[in-house]
Homo-oligomer: A and B are copies of this chain.
Amino acid sequence: MVIGGDAAGMSAASQARRLKDPDALEIVAFERGHHASYSACGIPYWVGGDVDGPDQLVARTPEEHRARQIDLRMRTEVTEIDVAGGRVRSRRLPDGQEVWTGYDKLVIATGARPVRPPLPGIDAPGVHGVQTLDDGQALLDTLRQTGGRRAVVVGAGYIGVEMAEALLRRDYQVTLLNRAPEPMTTLDPDMGELVHEAVTGLGVQLVDEAEVTEIRTDEQGRARAVVTSDAEYPADVVVLGIGVRPETALAEAAGLPLGDSGGLLTDQAMRVRGHSDIWAGGDCVEVLDLVAGRQRHVPLGTHANKQGQVIGTNVGGGYATFPGVVGTAVSKVCDLEIARTGLLEAQAREVGFQFVTVRVESTSRAGYFPGAASMTVKMLAERRTGRLLGTQIVGREGAGKRVDVAAVALTAGMTVEQMTALDLGYAPPFSPVWDPVLVAARKATRAVRADAAG
């Protein structure tokens, strides 16, 4: 039995079905929304008009799942897990009918919910999260019905920045309210500054260090402005991109173990700790950060898919593990590519690392080659050992996916000096003769040596 019909849940169901016939394994899945198996990451591009939706974002329809003998029950919300009794209670949303259903093996894939700080007006019509396809549809409906052209996006993480761009493409005047000193707190502030320039260059009004205190509504109760401690920003639509929290109320009520972030705690095989017949994956779990050596909440579709695959393999009688993450993320604002992996400075400090940092400017192609675009690479290496701790890249075309090299090096525990010898692809249309990641690794190697000598 699977609770939650998106990436992790349906990947698990599909993989288990691949390994076991319906005779050997019956699969029931509950999804409270109107859609299953979709790409939530695609929502900003749907809103922006780059992608038709919502069907384009659906990897597999409920009918396709059912054709593969997965009993997917849409618009059905699980309201209670009875761990001792091995059963869950569910409610059909259209008619409110409730039933208890027993399970031998349970997969919890309840995802995440957008953070909604307890502010006046936060639940008013015209205030939208963008976590599910239903959220995306609701936002598009509002945009269609709204006369005005003023949008305020709260939160300047990657979702906020992507939504700001999407609304700009819909010809909105966009204000982006950012609590931190620079946008993209998934980057160090000095790298976030590069994103600041790009975002304002697009025509977005970016307000840093903005503390939202209220969503002001009109007499009909509709959101009309976002108020901060300093100012008031008129809004015909408000989008929340503040981040998400694990959706684990059900699990908590059932007494399942949660971590500091509120995410479920699992073992290597993605079983909920202490429960041999319950698995959990996707945005509702914490994962091991292999660099920090700590559990963290890292809600990303790519992890959800991998974890679902691991769960499905194990539930289907095979063996697979999810060892953890190194914190890789890429995103894009217009033609600016933003990437990070490993630890930021503050994160490295928090877990007790001492380190050197370097920053280099390089280009995506040989300097003389047409289309060569500049790129900034920042690298953190541990003092003494020289072990790579993190890499951040901001640049134009060809910048973002270069972070994968650092992600693999982190996984392998390489030092920055070992990285300088990496045999990366070189040809003038693809890279300078020293790839930008290698240029950073060379500089980091010198910094580690100088630190050790000094």
Contact = CB atoms under 8 A, between A and B. Distances in A.
A430 B330 contact: yes
A400 B425 contact: yes
A300 B412 CA distance: 26
Interface in A242-276: none
Contacts of A328: 423-426
Contacts of A301: 426, 433
Contact of A433 (B305, B326, B369): B305
Interface stretch (A85-93, A214-222, A375-383, A414-422): A414-422
A349 to B, nearest CB: 22
Nearest to A51: B368
Given A7-B433, A50-B369, A405-B405, A422 B426 contact: no
Nearest to A393: B425
Contact of A402 (B332, B341, B401): B401
A61 interface: no
A102 interface: no
30 contacts: A39-B366, A39-B368, A41-B426, A42-B369, A50-B369, A51-B368, A56-B368, A301-B433, A302-B434, A306-B434, A328-B423, A329-B427, A330-B425, A330-B426, A330-B427, A330-B431, A331-B427, A332-B427, A337-B430, A341-B423, A341-B425, A400-B425, A401-B425, A401-B430, A402-B404, A403-B425, A404-B435, A407-B425, A408-B408, A408-B422
A433 B39 contact: yes
Interface string A330-348: 1110000101010000000
A323 B427 contact: no
Contacts of A434: 302, 305-306
A428 interface: yes
A443 to B, nearest CB: 13
Given A401-B402, A407-B424, A429 B339 contact: no
Interface string A32-55: 000000010110010000110000
A404 B433 contact: no
B50 A424 contact: no
Contacts of A366: 39, 41-42
A162 to B, nearest CB: 8
A51 B300 CA distance: 41
Q: Please give me the 4 A-B residue pairs with the lowest Cβ-Cβ distance, nearest first.
A: A412-B412, A330-B425, A302-B426, A408-B408
**Which of A7, A331, A341 has the most CB atoms of chain B within a 10 A radius of its CB?**
A331
A341 B405 CA distance: 14
By size class, the interface of chain A is 35 or more
A264 B422 CA distance: 22
A237 interface: no
A372 B271 CA distance: 35
Contact of A409 (B321, B402, B408): B408
Contacts of A42: 366, 368-369, 428
A428 B337 CA distance: 12
A422 B430 contact: no
Contacts of A303: 423
Contacts of A50: 369-370
Contacts of A326: 423
A51 B421 contact: no
A325 B423 contact: yes
A30 interface: no
Nearest to A411: B422
A433 B7 CA distance: 10
**Which of A412, A420, A426, A427 has the most CB atoms of chain B within a 10 A radius of its CB?**
A427
A442 to B, nearest CB: 8
A106 to B, nearest CB: 24
A252 B302 CA distance: 55
